[in-house]
Copies of this chain bind each other. A is one copy, B any other.
Amino acid sequence: MSSPAELFKLLSCGVYVIGVTDGNQYNAFTAAWVIQVSFQPLLLALSINPQHRSYAMLKAGESFTVNVLGKDQAELARHFASPIADRLAKLPWRPGKTGAPILSQALAYLECRLEENYPAGDHRLILGRAVGGARFQPGEPLLYRDTGDMNGASHLFPEKF
């Protein structure tokens, strides 16, 4: 028998740094639960833990960036998942047209305006409308499964269905 944690690892996802601002402060955090959900309008969904302080900033600023990490950027993913106070310090970034921070080192970014905010169990499901984006460098995206159990997420799963 396979556990829920083992089976859910077979759902492929990338690794992203989500950038947010409330107009005064800036923050960014690593996330993996991102997918496209609509072509017209061009929407993506991001599942976010509402206890994270970035959630309040995202709601206040009504926008976010999705900075796509590349295969060789697992270190950057760990940095933006770490508990240090100012993760953006000492790294190159600039505010996008919505104000949300764009990481210059990422493979590419998409910038989104908050469109919907739905309950989703212990998370919130944010729909963002893509209003801009660019590719910064060539390369393949990093996959979450290639980072190992980066956030120690395995223990968060129920043991059984």
Contact = CB atoms under 8 A, between A and B. Distances in A.
Q: Is chain A's interface secondary structure helix, strand, loop, or mixed overall?
A: strand
A90 to B, nearest CB: 25
A21 interface: no
Nearest to A123: B38
A156 B40 contact: yes
Q: How many copies does the complex hold?
A: 2
A121 B38 contact: yes
Interface string A95-138: 00000000000011010000010111111010100111111000
Interface in A120-160: 120-123, 125, 127, 130-135, 141, 143-144, 153, 156-158
18 contacts: A2-B108, A10-B135, A11-B36, A11-B66, A11-B141, A12-B143, A35-B35, A36-B47, A37-B47, A37-B123, A37-B125, A39-B158, A40-B158, A45-B47, A118-B118, A120-B127, A130-B161, A131-B161
